[in-house]
Structure 1
Amino acid sequence: MNTTARRLASIVMVMFLALLVSTTWIQFFAADSLNSDPRNARTLYEQFGTDRGPIVVGGEAVADSVPVDDEWNYQREYTQGRLYAPLTGYYSLVSGTSGIERAENDFLAGSADALWVDRLRNLLTGTDPQGSAVELTVDPAAQQAAWDALGDQRGAVVALEPSTGRILALVSKPTFDPNDLATHSTKDANDAYLELSNAEDKPLNSRATAEIYPPGSTFKLVTAAAALESGEYTADTVVDAPDTYTPPGTDRSINNYGGTSCSSSGEQSLADALRISCNTAFAELGVTLGDEALQEQAEAFGFGSGMTVPFGTAASVFPAPPIDPAFVAQSAIGQWDVAATPLQIAMVSAAIANDGEVMEPYSVDRVRDQNLDVVSETRSNSLGRAVSTDTADQLTDMMVGVVEGGSGTAAQISGVSVAGKTGTAQTTSDAPPHTWFTGFAPADDPQVAVAVFVENGGSIGTSEATGGQVSAPIARVVMEAVLNG
């Protein structure tokens, strides 16, 4: 072979090698990035041309793909879209995905590793691919009860099964209709998304899991837990309960609700202080316990950590020490920089109901493939112990006192012992307070724990609004729905 032929052969071999390397790189190493590139129309056609699996609640699909006569073949359809939007999220050509649609996308799209047998079967038989069904933990009766009871008020309701962490209800208002974003008209979908994104009341943000608020007196459960866990207090321990309390290092005093007196003697038991939600008693108690004890107890209940349920949630906040005593006093009653999601407050009650053990909340029960075989199932998972069993028992008795003869009587259920705690959280000087209630029932055999948050006094809408008036009745309805189910 002459020199020219050898050179030509070498060049051809180099070109073939370059082609081989390039093809290998594109098909294997760059495949994921190319598939996820929003400019890749082929990926969009593949995704939206697939029979996406349903999201199921109580045996009924609340999100499903229906055949349509256009280039996409299928369109996402949400029954009772507004009711379940904080859970399902949306699946949109324009704005992508959120909620369960995003978190469980691989199963819904049929592309999860666990579904390789189904994909192989479809390939061999020529059957069109089909996504898996994602079954939620939600109790449809409790979800509807929470929706109806919250009414036109802005806020959120969360209900959990204390022993497992299963989310039984999750409602947020105002909400949105995912169908508006699922339309194949890109103009209509884009207009809808822009309107929702720019709305002042943030309907796309779940008030149950994505936003944090001052928890007010519901945080007194955490302060009481820290006191009991210290070994220096019991429910019967007498604590100071002055008409006003001025923390060290400040001349600004803390008052009780409405300027009332907690006790004619200026002191009362810890149980009575919780029963009537005495601000001065818990503010002084918080200063005595110290910022580190409060932070440690808050974190034991889950503060400071975001969760996946399976979509992400905002982390609740307790300010990091060192904290000035004046702010420790405010923090002990759920004010200043303390902020929590309604999900987190529900977790506090659920942990007390579960003998002190915090269970990780979750909303997906199981996933079934196109043959209805279970391919994935969520197992309950402990996040650790927040308090001892003895402390949980004492807190339960104290919370029963709140509902039987304290600030939470509106949560009473006939024939059922209910444990609870009200909360009224100050926001700004010119806005009504947020109202809260959290609790569980039955107190002696807990089946459901709830948290109800209502923005700015709800339907009352004045500074006179309280958690006992506004939020406790909603919690009662939701607990009854679970217990009667």
Structure 2
Amino acid sequence: MRGVRQVALGMAFSFFVLSLGLVYWQVVQADTLLENPANRRLILMESRVTRGGIFDRNGEILAQTQIAEGKKVRVYPKGEMFEPVLGYSSVKLGASGLEGSLADWLLGIKRATPTQAVQQLFALPRQGDDVVLTLDSRLQSIAYNALKGKMGSVVALDPQTGEVLAMVSQPSFNPTNLDQKWNEIISQEEKKPLGEKQRPLEHRYFSLYPPGSTMKVVTSAALLRSGLNTTDLYQCQGSTIINGQVIREQNDRAHGWVNYNMALAESCNTYFATFGVQAGDQVFLSAVKGFGFGQTIPFELKVPRSSITKETMNPTSLNTNLLAASTFGQGEVLVTPFHMALMTAGIANDGVIMTPHLIERVLDSSQNVLFQQKPQPWLTALSKEEADKITSGMVTAVTDGTAAPGALPGVQVAGKTGSAEPGGNVLTHAWYIAFAPADNPQIAVAVIVENGGTGGGAAAPIARQIIQEALNQKVGDKSE
């Protein structure tokens, strides 16, 4: 009898442990499982759930489920323009991008209404929720067409709210009839004759690149905090030696006597390296941390962290040579275009970086608002005085410096170019960051063209088109 009792107790204990496991995964971790795009249960649920639509801020349809020949079909009226950020939803391929990360909303699972809860409980057919994004199709179209045929990315933000107005990666892909086109898309991942990869599935706004001279707006914070007098003159002779390391200007050009504004405008490497080293690694590391380096960006999609060194995300010190190279965006510095746009927006917003977001609101099938986004600050990178001084230098860069190709008639644009060396015998990556109007910023933009050469030549004209359209329509306004 004792043996039977022990077996019974053992079985009871096993059932108890199994029950705890079921409770943990079905209740405690339910949201985590549902939010995982690899969870095919979400895709299979669509046999009885009609996935909600995805719309831009003006109500234009970006993704919608339609019935064709008795079957549900996910359609994307804008084609590849919103890829890869929009992603796809397929029984065969799973889900990616926003289609994956927003599946709990789109399938009516997150914050389910009482009706949806009953329908879900009894596995009844039901309608998911609609998601309205902050993206603006008009700006997205301009960015997409301006980048077409190139490899690179554009990110445009409202600096006052953190709303993402445009987010483009090129090359991209058309998600319509994706199951049939998948092999063709995958084949585009192969190398071209010159050795570069098209990589249409890559989210280039989340790819890590050396920032080149766009980094100087961040280094500026360290210079200002070290007590630098921005009116003092420095003689640029085309190169300088710091701790045995030769720092060169682009094309070995000597800029002559420059103050802070002209050094930023002419993108003087030796000025920023010299005064950056004088400021010291602790002041520099404090400044970059304030801009979010080494930190996870709160966002609806996962953004890789930007970094100063390869060894650690948050170094406590830098040697002199690495510090000197880091001040003008070389060395080991890596940053995503998305983060660069955020940092630019922070300068525009008096030093405060707002939490970026793509979701504006979520509506149930009766168009009741289930969720409404509220702007929230993320980091205070600069004081207003520091932001004003950096803005002044960026304005000079547009009026009298390398950022001049981004100028607009009748509008004061604040901008900065970058030509980042990726390593190897290839052209530099072309960067351009800007915001406008400088005295009351409505839009902030970051553009990168891979191996595009100079930022002024390849990237600035793209940013100029986007800023022009944004200001013409009064950025963010809903179309009538």
**Identity over the aligned pairs, expressed in percent?**
33
Shift of 1:42: 7.5
Contact 2:431 2:448 in 1 (8 A): yes
Question: Given the superposition, is the C-alpha separation of residues 38 and 430 from structure 1 closer, same or farther in structure 2, using an over 3 Å criterion?
Answer: closer
Structure 2 distance, partners of 1:179, 1:468, is 36
Shift of 1:28: 5.1
Aligned to 2:240: 245
What amino acid is aligned across from residue 129 of structure 1 in structure 2?
A: R
Structure 2 distance, partners of 1:203, 1:44, is 23
Contact 2:37 2:95 in 1 (8 A): no
Aligned to 1:466: 454
Contact 1:229 1:388 in 2 (8 A): no
Shift of 1:268: 2.0
Aligned to 1:325: 320
Per-residue deviation, residues 186-215 of structure 1 (Å, max 9, x unmatched): xx4763575466673322121112x11011
Aligned to 1:66: 66
Aligned to 1:47: 46
Q: Which stretch has the larger CA shift, 145-154 or 25-34?
A: 25-34
* 2:197 aligned with 1:218: no
Per-residue deviation, residues 144-163 of structure 1 (Å, max 9, x unmatched): 11111112110000001001
SS in 1 for 2:275: helix
Shift of 1:39: 12
* 2:379 aligned with 1:387: no
Per-residue deviation, residues 116-138 of structure 1 (Å, max 9, x unmatched): 32314647999721110111001
Contact 1:228 1:391 in 2 (8 A): yes
Aligned to 1:484: 472
What amino acid is aligned across from residue 56 of structure 1 in structure 2?
A: F
What amino acid is aligned across from residue 132 of structure 1 in structure 2?
A: D
Structure 1 distance, partners of 2:436, 2:41, is 52
SS in 1 for 2:112: helix
Q: Which stretch has the larger CA shift, 448-457 or 22-31?
A: 22-31
Equivalences for residues 413-432 of structure 1 within 5 A: 413-432=408-427
Aligned to 1:460: none
Aligned to 2:202: 205
Contact 1:131 1:370 in 2 (8 A): yes
CA RMSD of aligned residues (A): 3.2
Q: 1:405 aligns with which of 400, 409, 423?
A: 400
Equivalences for residues 227-246 of structure 1 within 5 A: 227-230=223-226, 232-246=227-241
Aligned to 1:108: 106
Aligned to 2:478: none
Question: Given the superposition, is the C-alpha separation of residues 103 and 40 from structure 1 closer, same or farther in structure 2, using an over 3 Å criterion?
Answer: closer
Aligned to 1:456: 451
Aligned to 1:91: 89
State the TM-score, normalizing by the size of structure 2. Answer: 0.86
Equivalences for residues 85-484 of structure 1 within 5 A: 85-112=83-110, 114-120=111-117, 122=119, 128-181=125-178, 183=179, 188=180, 191=183, 194-195=186-187, 200-209=197-206, 211-230=207-226, 232-248=227-243, 250=244, 252-263=245-256, 267-319=257-309, 320-457=315-452, 465-484=453-472
Shift of 1:448: 0.1
Q: Which stretch has the larger CA shift, 235-244 or 334-343?
A: 235-244
What amino acid is aligned across from residue 379 of structure 1 in structure 2?
A: K
Contact 1:422 1:472 in 2 (8 A): yes
Contact 1:423 1:467 in 2 (8 A): yes
Question: Given the superposition, is the C-alpha separation of residues 327 and 69 from structure 1 closer, same or farther in structure 2, using an over 3 Å criterion?
Answer: same
Contact 1:137 1:363 in 2 (8 A): yes
The alignment covers a number of residue pairs equal to: 456
Per-residue deviation, residues 75-124 of structure 1 (Å, max 9, x unmatched): 22212231111321121223322221122111101111x12323146479
Question: Given the superposition, is the C-alpha separation of residues 304 and 364 from structure 1 closer, same or farther in structure 2, using an over 3 Å criterion?
Answer: same
Per-residue deviation, residues 438-484 of structure 1 (Å, max 9, x unmatched): 01000011000000000002xxxxxxx31111111111001111111
Shift of 1:318: 1.3
Structure 2 distance, partners of 1:388, 1:438, is 20
Structure 2 distance, partners of 1:288, 1:469, is 32
Question: Given the superposition, is the C-alpha separation of residues 268 and 108 from structure 1 closer, same or farther in structure 2, using an over 3 Å criterion?
Answer: same
Question: Given the superposition, is the C-alpha separation of residues 126 and 93 from structure 1 closer, same or farther in structure 2, using an over 3 Å criterion?
Answer: closer
What amino acid is aligned across from residue 244 of structure 1 in structure 2?
A: S
Contact 1:396 1:443 in 2 (8 A): yes
What amino acid is aligned across from residue 238 of structure 1 in structure 2?
A: L
Question: Given the superposition, is the C-alpha separation of residues 31 and 469 from structure 1 closer, same or farther in structure 2, using an over 3 Å criterion?
Answer: same
Contact 2:212 2:420 in 1 (8 A): yes
Structure 1 distance, partners of 2:91, 2:262, is 56
Question: Given the superposition, is the C-alpha separation of residues 123 and 52 from structure 1 closer, same or farther in structure 2, using an over 3 Å criterion?
Answer: closer
Structure 2 distance, partners of 1:431, 1:311, is 31
Aligned to 1:461: none
SS in 1 for 2:331: coil
Shift of 1:290: 1.9
Shift of 1:47: 3.0
Shift of 1:348: 1.6
Shift of 1:435: 0.5
Q: Which stretch has the larger CA shift, 295-304 or 41-50?
A: 41-50
Structure 2 distance, partners of 1:243, 1:300, is 31
Structure label with greater radius of gyration: 1
SS in 1 for 2:204: coil
Contact 1:235 1:398 in 2 (8 A): no
What amino acid is aligned across from residue 253 of structure 1 in structure 2?
A: V
Structure 2 distance, partners of 1:174, 1:221, is 29
Aligned to 1:81: 79
